[in-house]
Structures are given as C-alpha cells and as structure tokens.
Amino acid sequence: MKEQTAEASNVSRPREVVVEGSAKGFAQMIAVGGHVLAADEPVEAGGTDTGPGPYDLLLAALGSCTSMTVTMYARRKEWPLETVRVRLRHSRIHAADCENCETKVGWLDQIERDIELVGSLDEAQRARLVEIANKCPIHRTLTSELVIRTRLVGEGGPR
C-alpha cells in the first residue's frame, strides 16, 4: 500500500476552525489554516459591523459549496458551464405557514437559494445541475440529523 504524504493526508481531514473574541463586544477573529476572517454583528444588532454575521457565514458556506459542487459536476461532464452565481437569504417563518413542513408550531429557519447558471446549457443539463446543487455536502449537513458535541476546556474547565 502506498504511503500518503503529510500534505495529501491533510486534504481528507477537515481543518480546525478557531474563533476568538472579547466578551466586551461581538467582533470575532476566525482562523482557518493560514486564513484569517472576521465576524461581527451589524451596528443595529449591537455590533460594530467589522465582518459578516454568523448567519451570513452559514449562507456563504452553503453558497460556496453549492457553486463548487455544481462546477465540479459540470466540469466532469464537460458541459459548457461558464459561471455559477448563488444568492442566499435566511429568515425565520411561522411553522404554520410552511405547507410541506412536519413542524406546525413555533418558528422555522428558512433559507432561500437562487442559482444562476451562465453558459450554453440545455434545459436537461440545467435541471440536473439543480439536482446536484441539492447534494452538496453542506446542503446535506444542514438537512440531516446533526450532532454537536460541546465540552468546556482550558481555564475554568474540568481538571
């Protein structure tokens, strides 16, 4: 069996994301590998608007995953896709207003996703790319059962 290089083995493992902020405000510094991003809340929500908010980042994750997945599929099929543009919006809706939802009480999160495919694609190719968009890993994560395990570490944590 061929041994993987350290770089190749890192490709399959998700990178750790570290988020840090002062308790005095909402501004956050996000470190992912060698990348540094900012997050904050808008001024009207008590932040300083130094970066996108948490829901903005969630939508960005879904949008970028959608675009990458559709692009990868079209490239593999050698289809004439030139550009993918994904526009997303998050809102909260009354559960009673959702015809196809199991939950009928309280509020639900709703994401609207508009996908624009630029290129000389026929209708069958466009329809297939929308199907593929619904199979991107982030879409699957958001629509599946999700487990988040939280533990307290460091100063003040268990010893």
Measured in whole angstroms, how far is the alpha carbon of residue 30 from the centre of its chain?
15
Nearest Cα to 42, choosing from 51, 30, 31? 51
pLDDT of residue 12: 61
CATH match of 53-147 with 3.30.300.20: yes
Positions of E strands within the chain:
17-20, 28-32, 35-39, 81-94, 107-119
Residues of the chain with pLDDT under 50: 1-4, 6, 8-9
* Predicted confidence (pLDDT) per residue in 95-110, tens digit: 777 776 666 667 888 8
pTM across the whole model: 0.82
Half-sphere exposure of 153 (CA within 13 A, CB side): 3
pLDDT digits (tens, 9 = 90+) for 24-48: 899 999 999 999 999 999 999 999 9
- Which amino acid is residue 96, in one-letter code? A
